Amino acid sequence: MQEPFDITIGEIDYAIFPEGNDTYVVFKDGKEYRHILKDTESQWLTLDPDTALPLFGEDEEVNAIGREITAYVPEEEDEDEETDEEEEEL
C-alpha cells in the first residue's frame, strides 16, 4: 500500500493517507478533513463521515486534491546509499 504523503494547493498543505481502493483520508491544518473517493479520472467524491457513502455533487476543492493525488509520484529511496553500505560490510 502507498505511504502517506503531503500535497500543497495554493497556500494550503494537505496530508494524504491512502486507505486502498482509491479511498483517501485528507488532513488539513493537522485535523482530519475529509474522506474522498476517486470516481473517474477527473471526478472525486467526498464520503459521508457517518455512513461512508459517497456524497454526489461537484466540489472543486475535492477535485483539485484528487488531481494532486493522481499526479503525486512517490520519492524513491536512495538505492546508491544502501548499496554503498552493503559493500562496506563485505
Q: H-helix or E-strand containing 62?
A: helix 60-71
Cell of 65: 486534491
Task: Record the pTM.
Answer: 0.80
Residue-level pLDDT, tens digit, the chain, 90 residues: 689 999 999 999 999 999 999 999 999 999 999 999 999 988 999 999 999 999 999 999 999 999 999 999 887 765 555 555 555 555
For residue 46, give the nearest of 17, 55, 20, 16 by alpha carbon: 55
86 three-state secondary structure: helix
pLDDT score for 30? 92
Cell of 58: 461537484
Backbone angles phi, psi at 76, to 5 degrees: -85, 145
